[in-house]
Amino acid sequence: METKLKPVDTSVWRKKPLAAYEADMKKSELKRVLTRWGLTSLGIGAVIGGGIFVLTGIAAHDWAGPALALSFVLAGVACTFAALCYAEFASILPVEGSAYAYSYGTVGEIFAWLIGWNLILEYMMGATTVAVSWSGYFEKLLHLFGITPPIYLMNDPITAQEKAEKLRAAGEIIPDFSFAVNLPAFLIVLVVTYILVRGIKEAASTNNIIVIVKVAVVIFVIIVGAFYIDTTNWTPFIPQPVIDNSGQQHYGFNGIVTAASIVFFAYIGFDAVSTQAGEAINPKKDVPFAIIASLIICTILYILVSLVLTGMVPFKDLDLKAPVAQAFADKGLTWAVYIITIAALGGLTSVMLVMMLGQTRIFLGMAKDGLLPKNMFASIHPTFKTPWKSTILVGLIVATVASLTPIDKVSELCSSGTLLAFAMICGAVWLLRVREPNLERPYRTPALPVIATLGICANLYLMYNLRTDTKISFVIWCTLGLIVYFTYSRRNSHLNHQD
């Protein structure tokens, strides 16, 4: 008797069957070694770092002033709505791939592809930004020990020329150079890549140690810095709005919202937790716990640090590259600067580690579905049980971009992809609740219609308030993603081969 084949669904809205996720989990070659608190630590590792040690200075100085605390509240609330939706999805589909995987099983392939494509932007550019920041703190550490490295080895070509021109204008003799590279940024990415190739257990252990140290230092900053707060620095708490030459409003309510959209980049750590579901011991219970726990812990720490920082130093005097360390230096607390600088280096390292870890797991999920070449992005090392080829590829790309690109060209672009993914997840989990009401849900988002609606509106509103050039870059990136989808991914999708 002849076997009839099911007609292949060629629609871009076709969905991956939920049964296929169960099959993926059973066939997974990844090691399940991550505990509940190991996952929470990974989330904290990704969240605490760039936001506190770098973005606080830029967001307060340029956009929100002392009201930066309100920006963190706004960003944290928008994240909370998304986190609650993420938690329900993670309990249903405990697989690597994060928002990409969740959307593929509910909304459809084209949406899933766009989310996965934007998560690539989020994680790669995020890791690049953090690598450049790491280099800045490393240079500061060298200066503390009286070492002044050459400008052309510590900065990308554009930044190196700008710094050289400023120093020459100040009367310093700076030799000409034809080429510059941010060598520390390049090397630290290679070190992180090596750790990730070696295995998730080693990466998680390294991260746990760093997280303990940097959370201790953040608490130290809050407690010690509180004694040096001058409440007059908080007046006015919300500075009067200022319109720049391009028509962009700084400070006031719009400034607070813009700052929230900028610091949103710092919150993607809980998304990274969901990418590790394939390596969690008990993903259906532990991933939702870790998502919510890491978000709550980090939001509280962010608010307190921003209040201390803007209380210690007038927001207009905040240092843009190392705001926390410089605030303590201005108070004559040189011994504290050593501690903060070293902690910042460790903190930024763990952020890089988790971002690059999340990136490769999203690649792995997409490659398993045929949307990316499997021999490159789904190749698991026989000994280390890690996606080693894609890890090395990501490491080389991030290292190269970080060593040659100014930080301001890549940092804000991270938030755009994150905000879209979060809004999509809020809608997708609601859609799945309607379509599959009897599906087992170890964790159920409370008041889902309200939470999902608020999550969609809050994240799209923050996305709307990103700067115009960031939106243009985002549209270009999405267009490139659609070209890749229609020329490669759609025809290589495993959904083309249904029995």
Look up residue 146 and give its amino acid: G
pLDDT of residue 2: 45
Query: What pLDDT is recorded for position 424?
Result: 84
CA 371 to chain centre: 23
pLDDT in tens, 243-263: 887 777 889 998 999 888 878
pLDDT at 404 over 50: yes
Please name the helix (run of DSSP H) or strand (run of DSSP E) that holds residue 348, with its range, or none. helix 334-368
pLDDT exceeds 70 at position 409: no
The DSSP secondary structure of 5-71, one letter per residue, reads PPPP---TT----HHHHHHHHHH--S---B-HHHHHHHHHHHHTTHIIIIIHHHHIIIIIGGGHHHH
Q: Do the Cβ atoms of 81 and 434 come closer than 8 Å?
A: no
pLDDT at 459: 87
In angstroms, the CA 130 to CA 145 distance is 23
Contacts of 402 (CB under 8 A, 6+ apart): 127, 128, 131, 132, 135, 182, 185, 186, 189
Strand partners, 34: 280
C-alpha span between 399 and 327 (Å, rounded):
30
Is the pLDDT at 98 greater than 80? The verdict is no
The span from the CA of 377 to the CA of 380, in Å, is 9
pLDDT at 223: 95
Decide if pLDDT at 184 tops 90.
yes
Task: Kindly report, residue by residue over 186-241, the tens digit of the pLDDT.
Answer: 999 999 999 889 876 666 666 677 778 878 888 999 999 999 999 999 999 999 98
Q: What is the mean pLDDT of residues 308-323?
A: 87
**Residue, of 69 and 36, whose pLDDT is higher:** 69
Burial of 284-320, coded b for 16+ CB within 10 Å and e otherwise, reads bbbbbbbbbbbbebbbebbbbbbbbbbbbbbbeebbb
Quote the radius of gyration of the chain (alpha carbons, Å).
23
Name which of 143-152, 258-267, 411-420 the model is least confident about. Answer: 411-420
C-alpha–C-alpha distance, residues 344 and 16, integer Å: 42
- Residue range 32-489, CATH number: 1.20.1740.10
d(CA 339, CA 347): 12
- Extract the tokens encoding 167: 């120093």
Confidence of residue 398 (pLDDT cuts 50, 70, 90): very high
